[in-house]
Structure 1
Amino acid sequence: MTRPGRFRSGMPRPGGPATERLRATLMTGLGVASLVYTALGLGAAGGQLERLHVFGTVLYALCAALPPLAGLLALRGHRHTAVPLALTAVYCLLVLLAIVLWLPLMTAPQMPQPAPWPYSILTIPAAAAGLLWSPPAAWSYLGILSVATGLLRHATAPVLGWIVAVQDAVFAFTFAAVFLALIQGALAGGRELDRSAAVARAATAREARLSSEHRQRIRLDALVHDHVLAVLLAAGRGDPAVQDQVPASARTALELLHDSPAGPGDPVPAREAAARIRDAVPAGFEWHARVPEHLFLPPEAAAALVEATTEAVRNSCRHAGDAARRVHVRGRSGEAAWLRVRIEDEGTGFEPAAVPSERLGLRVSVLERMSALPGGSASVRSAPGRGTVVDVCWQAP
């Protein structure tokens, strides 16, 4: 593999999308500029070609045709720049070859007064070198091209002297250097844009990963509370009726973790989710459901709704005594699809702001669980002596 900074006649390393789009655009512009240069210098070049071997004419024809052809192919888009770049590389080498072989190809002792035709197009191969190679290689190519052109200028018109040859070489180098620098600056901007886009993509992926980990942690906390801590707390209070439930609750939590989808899966019909909720609601609750047939939920949303509702129902059974209890399930399909479950009781109620932070029930198992769900939300409304209303809802983002 060629090291950066060394001269290489092959194609450049592939850049990002912005760099390759920009390279293709510049290559197309270079093809148009080459056509203009060729048209302007056609008369002078014709007089010189009459005094060159036929191979000189072939070189001229190739140098005139390759840049426009590469530009035309580059119009197909930045994903197809391999062939245009190869043609451009061949063009750069052919221009240098035309200068080196100029004297051996001459069939007459003298040339017309105008400078050899490669001198008039030096800007095009210099700009092409900026598209092809690393900055040191491109500038080295321009220096070699300028020196070779100056030597050829003196060899074909010795009466003008070395001063004119040197001046012409310096002018050609300076004029072409402007375009080479512009090309390199534009590509550097494209590479910086690609780097910024890559950093942004990496940051987005990291944020998504952290968000996913956060949601999984909240769900784990909720499952542990729902199926393990509740029984352990009851066992710690000396209730012998729940002693045998501890292993079963732990197994239930592990099964739920294993069965819960960690990523995208098949959508769950809302009516199936409602049926799961219905199975989790014990006798003594009034049940009201109106769920559209064509409403589907992400598997993560269905699981969160079922688990949050189960905890809210359990919490009501634990604290509301024999008060009346109701569960309402409502939904809507279409663009703004949603599903909401409301758990009501007419129990003694409580003051939500007065609940200690170490009490994890509704806070972890309902509120945090639903807030971690994309499109999820939950609310708890209660007051002493006025019962409790818990809403858990999912809405399509």
Structure 2
Amino acid sequence: MITEPKPATDGRAGTGHENTDRILRMFARFITVGYVAYLVFLLPSIASMAPRLDPWWTPAAVVSVFGSGIVIGLMSFLRDTRAIRVAAGAAAVTFLLAALSWPLAWVGPSVPGGEGVWLAGFPGLASIAAVIAWPTTVAFGHMVVGCITVQLINYGVRDDLASTMLVSEIAFAIVFCTLFVGGAAMAMRTGRILDSTTEQTHAAAATAAARHARAVEQDRFAALIHDGVMATLLTASRRAPKAAGLAARTLHELDAIASGVRSDQSFSAAATLAYLRAAASEADHDVVFEATTADAGDLLVPADVARTVAAALAEALRNSRRHAGPDATSTVHVWVTEHDIDIRVTDDGAGFDRTSVAPHRLGVTVSILGRMRQLPGGTAWIDSSPGRGTTVRLGWAAA
């Protein structure tokens, strides 16, 4: 039997992180491009600053800082995004270690006015890497520590920076970097929200599908009661010779339901007629429903075919109720043979000129004609003119 899926209780509603991962990869490549661009842009500053530092420090710092930033982008081509987060975290830590180790390698002399340490050029980029590696609060903490550290280094190595300017330099650096780090944090949050919404939507769709499948089972059971049990009892009451065979077939279908039938199991001809009758009655309680069968006992209609035809039939009747006029009468006639189903929905209402229907009115084009023509073996056409009523013909032929 069909059971409804339990709604998710957590924010992610499953394991799908597609949107977050897509944004993560995008930022990883953006960070790598940023590191490469800063490396090219800061090469003159790196070269001019190298003589003022221990010989070992500049090569080690350049390779570790910019190398770790480039690795982030390379990791974005791997399937597992955990490698991106690890590389981003390593790059963020490496930047801080390089900044904190600067005073240990400094030998002087002071930097002329207008110049500064090259690490002060991109603390925000390293903090964007922290955003994709760690929680947002930790990433902002990294940004604040990084901005303060590089500005303190600038203050220590420059001979023209007044102490009164230090606070304003730190504040400017933090505010400037916050724009980019905050944008990255919001983008990551948007990806997580979109993933959560997508998972919840999928769960809701699965629940709706389960409910629809249950309704199909109920319709099939109702059809069996009407066209099997009641027909068997009526035939038996008349002592007709076919009563035994009909009873055996009905019991077989009841056993199938008791053992847990699937919602995608094919419909018999009788079940299909009952399903179409139920759809027609639901769309228009006053409809006249007529059915004709000709050696249709062996016909098996796939469940999706029965649903599609019933939906198109219901839409045709709803259109008739809306547009045919209050005094119009609708009639549905269904012919079922061992090879096909033919349905005609006719009303004696106002009719319409199909060429005058506005393009945005999709009820006929999509819900009736399009739905049937996309169905393998399905056909549909509409005949109508003003004052002469409307006829909708739906057909399906077994392959």
Q: What is residue 187 of structure 2 aligned with on the other side?
A: 186
Q: How far apart are residue 329 of structure 1 and its match?
A: 9.6
Distance in 2 separating the partners of 1:162 and 1:68: 36
Q: What is residue 295 of structure 1 aligned with on the other side?
A: none
Distance in 1 separating the partners of 2:21 and 2:251: 55
Distance change in 2, residues 1:46/1:15 (3 Å): farther
Q: How far apart are residue 121 of structure 1 and its match?
A: 1.5
Q: Is the 1:92–1:128 contact (alpha carbons within 8 Å) kept by the matching residues of 2? A: yes
Distance in 1 separating the partners of 2:240 and 2:268: 31
Distance in 1 separating the partners of 2:51 and 2:32: 26
Q: Is the 1:48–1:111 contact (alpha carbons within 8 Å) kept by the matching residues of 2? A: no
Q: What is residue 129 of structure 2 aligned with on the other side?
A: 128
Q: Is the 1:99–1:149 contact (alpha carbons within 8 Å) kept by the matching residues of 2? A: yes
- Give the letter for the 1:112 counterpart: V
Distance change in 2, residues 1:23/1:244 (3 Å): closer
Q: Deviations over 1:187-228 (max 9, x none)?
A: 222223223322321222122111110111111122233333
Q: What is residue 387 of structure 2 aligned with on the other side?
A: none
Q: What is residue 336 of structure 2 aligned with on the other side?
A: 341
Superposed, 1:45-56 pairs within 5 Å as 45-53=46-54, 54-56=56-58
Give SS of 1:50's match. Answer: helix
- Give the letter for the 2:70 counterpart: P
- Give the letter for the 1:62 counterpart: S
Q: How far apart are residue 93 of structure 1 and its match?
A: 0.5
Distance change in 2, residues 1:97/1:188 (3 Å): same
Distance in 2 separating the partners of 1:238 and 1:329: 21
Q: What is residue 40 of structure 1 aligned with on the other side?
A: 41
Q: How far apart are residue 88 of structure 1 and its match?
A: 1.7
TM-score normalised per structure 2: 0.60
Distance in 2 separating the partners of 1:143 and 1:158: 24
Distance in 2 separating the partners of 1:161 and 1:222: 90
> Of residues 249, 269, 273 in structure 2, which corresponds to 1:305?
269
- Structure 1: stretches of 5+ with no match in the other structure: 1-13, 265-299, 313-323, 332-336, 344-373, 378-390
Distance in 2 separating the partners of 1:253 and 1:98: 77
Superposed, 1:104-183 pairs within 5 Å as 104-106=104-106, 108-113=107-112, 114-157=115-158, 160-183=161-184
Distance change in 2, residues 1:376/1:226 (3 Å): farther
Q: What is residue 367 of structure 1 aligned with on the other side?
A: none
Q: What is residue 295 of structure 2 aligned with on the other side?
A: 327
Superposed, 1:1-397 pairs within 5 Å as 16-53=17-54, 54-74=56-76, 76=77, 79-106=79-106, 108-113=107-112, 114-157=115-158, 160-232=161-233, 251-257=251-257, 261-262=261-262, 300-301=265-266, 303-305=267-269, 307-308=271-272, 326-327=294-295, 341-342=336-337, 394=396
- Give the letter for the 1:127 counterpart: I
TM-score normalised per structure 1: 0.60
Q: Is the 2:214–2:263 contact (alpha carbons within 8 Å) kept by the matching residues of 1? A: no
Structural RMSD (CA): 4.4
Q: Is the 2:224–2:250 contact (alpha carbons within 8 Å) kept by the matching residues of 1? A: no
The range that moved more, 54-63 or 35-44, is: 54-63
Distance change in 2, residues 1:227/1:256 (3 Å): farther
Q: What is residue 318 of structure 1 aligned with on the other side?
A: none
Give SS of 2:161's match. Answer: helix
Q: How far apart are residue 179 of structure 1 and its match?
A: 0.6
Q: Is the 1:126–1:179 contact (alpha carbons within 8 Å) kept by the matching residues of 2? A: no
Q: Deviations over 1:332-379 (max 9, x none)?
A: xxxxx9998339xxxxxxxxxxxxxxxxxxxxxxxxxxxxxx9899xx
Give SS of 1:161's match. Answer: coil
Distance change in 2, residues 1:396/1:227 (3 Å): closer
- Structure 2: stretches of 5+ with no match in the other structure: 1-14, 277-291, 300-304, 310-334, 339-374, 379-392
- Give the letter for the 2:269 counterpart: L
Q: Is the 2:223–2:274 contact (alpha carbons within 8 Å) kept by the matching residues of 1? A: no
- Give the letter for the 1:39 counterpart: V
Q: What is residue 351 of structure 1 aligned with on the other side?
A: none
- Give the letter for the 1:102 counterpart: W
Distance in 1 separating the partners of 2:244 and 2:75: 76
Distance change in 2, residues 1:82/1:150 (3 Å): same
Distance change in 2, residues 1:256/1:15 (3 Å): closer
Larger Rg: 1
Give SS of 1:341's match. Answer: strand
Q: How far apart are residue 240 of structure 1 and its match?
A: 11
- Give the letter for the 1:342 counterpart: T
Q: How far apart are residue 56 of structure 1 and its match?
A: 4.3
- Give the letter for the 1:100 counterpart: L
Give SS of 2:96's match. Answer: helix
Give SS of 2:52's match. Answer: coil
Q: What is residue 365 of structure 2 aligned with on the other side?
A: none
